[in-house]
Structure 1
Amino acid sequence: MDQITAILDRLLALHPKEIDLSLGRMNRLLEALGSPEKRLPPTIHIAGTNGKGSVTATLRAMLEADGKRCHVYTSPHLVAFNERIRLGASGEFVSDPELFKALYACEEANAGEEITFFEITTAAAILLFAENPADVLLLEVGLGGRLDATNVVDEPLATVITPISMDHEKFLGEALAEIAAEKAGILKAGCPVVVAPQDDEVLAVIERKAARLKAPVYRFGQEFNSYADQGRMAFQDEEGLYDLPMPSLLGAHQVINAGMAIATLKAAGLWSGEKAASEGLKSINWPGRLQPLINGALVDKCPEGAEVWLDGGHNPGAGVSIASFMGEQEERSPKPVYLICGMLTTKDPVGFFRSFDGLARHVATVPISTTTTARGPLELADFARLAGLEASPFSSLEDAIADIVSCAQKDGEAPRILICGSLYLAGEVLAANNMPPR
């Protein structure tokens, strides 16, 4: 066992629960570390249910195209824990020695006190961000917002709320308005907030909170807009209309995410013009989101001529976006669509699968080996059937692929395969296909 794995295992054992939302433990540890949260670079704080990572990746691409150094914090990782922390000086994931040093410092400062894994590893990230130079920190919320471990920045440049839908109800509330209130907990007095398209009840919650804090609100579809136009992307606000390339991330929802990123740069005072934005939009890197898998060890096991797609989306809102994209591919080039799906117990599988009714020929459900909170394939197949889909459980990803190979040979058609339902599964796929994120 290497040093990183060993210390992460020790940190995981410091609290009996994986999730226990509170800021008390985080504030205690940060104080013991010398309050590194007060020495962070100018910060953009990003919350929401879907699209947080894509907006963050788009912001990073445009800022780096403008010559800015960006620290980035995201979660979860796909293959290696280091992916959660990107340091601005190099633009690369944190190295093993740097990561170990920060984790060890947090372990020592915590002195065996009860603290969740996400809290203590977020503290390590904050320590690294404070000790290394950068122009901007892009800080993605882990879960919720109000009591999330990242919510220790008093004066961010801007806050961002991406689309909010039902997810993590056990921790955030059973109603959309309750979940919205938790996400809006990152808003700060006088700090601009950029808001994605939302249900009316969600928008009302955010607007009320912003009004109390005198925080300027920039709403998609009101203060700004972005849309596809003849193979290009248009962004419009009160300052004018910009003609831009389509974002390199695929799917109609990514045009919205790109518009969110541009509006955020403007709200934060970091907008430098169309040139950097154009360069950035063409070079966004965010694996596991409608990612085409062209070659690799796992792809080689798929039927000849198969299209293979990977997406880590895992809630009903993500299901709508992914199914919409797959429907567009079906119109472009009809192929039998097969889903391979693994999902955590905290997700709503029926809500996710429902969008694929009438589109997917069959769902193969598989286990996820990199987490202890995945649904079993038998149970997940039952949920897929409840959503109106044909489904069969398999003991491994390879067995599911072998079954699709057999079906393709019988049908004489090259299939379109979508591997989906969990970022943990996406990470396993990228590792098996020898495609670690960079």
Structure 2
Amino acid sequence: MRYFLPGWLLFLLVNFSHAGQAQVWQPPNTDLGSLVPKPQGSQLPTMGSSLEQQQARTRAINQASIDQADRYIAAQQQRERALQQEIQSEQQHRAREEQARQQYKVANQQLYESTYQTLQGMLEGRRHWDLKRAVFLTENAFMNGGLDYAQFSTDIHELTQICRGLAADSARPDLAARFMALHRLMTDTIRVTYNGKLASVHLPPRYDFKDFWGREDYSNQFVNKLLATNGGQCHSMPLLYKLVADELDIKSYLSMAPSHSYIQVKDNRGVLYSYETTRGFFVSDSYYMSSGFIKAGALKNRSYLDTLTRRETMACRVFDLAQSYAWRYGHDDFSAKCAALGLRYYPQSVQGRMLAHDAALMALMVAVKANGQPTEAQARLNPKLRPLMEEVERRKRAVEELGHEEMPADQYARWLKQVEQEQTRVAGQQAASRFEQTAKK
């Protein structure tokens, strides 16, 4: 522990020094006439030198404290500068990302608009009717132009050629043979040979239960995804069947069921058969009625279990366009415009009416927020909000008129798996029957 002398005492000590050298104190001489000898060896430290050393140590300690404080302040300032630079860098990164998103949105919305114009032209007869191109353009809009139409067309053409080879109808078309070939394409492993050598092996498409409604990734519903992975669901598989059937001149029709679509085909006598592309076998209407989600109103209004006309099929592509747009950007004027165009040609569509309802509801929500979020009673008295509320209610009644009831995803998956089990059981019985007949011969 260091002790510091008071100022007044320092003053006295300093004034006893002479020329920087303190005088040596000697005790009183008790022996008169005798001198006290000086100590031998090194001299004793003087009071002046001890004070200077103490002051030097004090200055050193104070300076060390100041230096340490300076270093701490400098380090703190450096950390603050680094933090500010990091924050600024993050802000710039977010700004660049937001700018990129806005640029993407502008370009993507322009692509959606051009696709809408193309589909509208096909519906109105101003453009060449091409379902294959309509399917591609609808999916390509969601992918912001990242798909390849040449590759898409080539894939469809190759599947068509496999069916033609299986039907062996190069000389004379045989629609029955083509249909059976298409059935094999959807259900069987096909070994493609060229000049007697195995060229490729085509596997039947499988149902992909992962995110089959495209809620996590909307592109899971695309035909392009089915062609790339050989896994699809009840939206992409019927569309692929329809595209190949059209190339083969097989009369086929898309049909709708709750949260589901399938195919109906005509035989040579004009009789319609329901064909379930997700499982590759013929079914009756009772198969779809067993889900429990088809009401009488939907059958009466042709919303379910009926063949779609050419324009109704194209209108569904407009609904698909609106649905994918809403998945990215939410409902706005564009989705409302798509719903209005599609309903003009397919007014009994459950999908179309639900899109129109959701677009009207979003318009109401935006207006309610802009008007201070009033209560329902206050909104009905507001001349700006009342018409929007009435439009939502009208769109809701339009959906209810069709007898629509939403099927939960888990129940839909259970229904499909029950069908798969039944298909396996029937296939086993048929194989056993064929084996028994063969054994009797």
Report the TM-score when normalising by structure 2: 0.23
Larger radius of gyration: 2
Report the TM-score when normalising by structure 1: 0.23
Q: Could you say which structure has the higher strand fraction?
A: 1
Greater RCO, 1 or 2 (C-alpha within 8 Å, sep 6+): 1
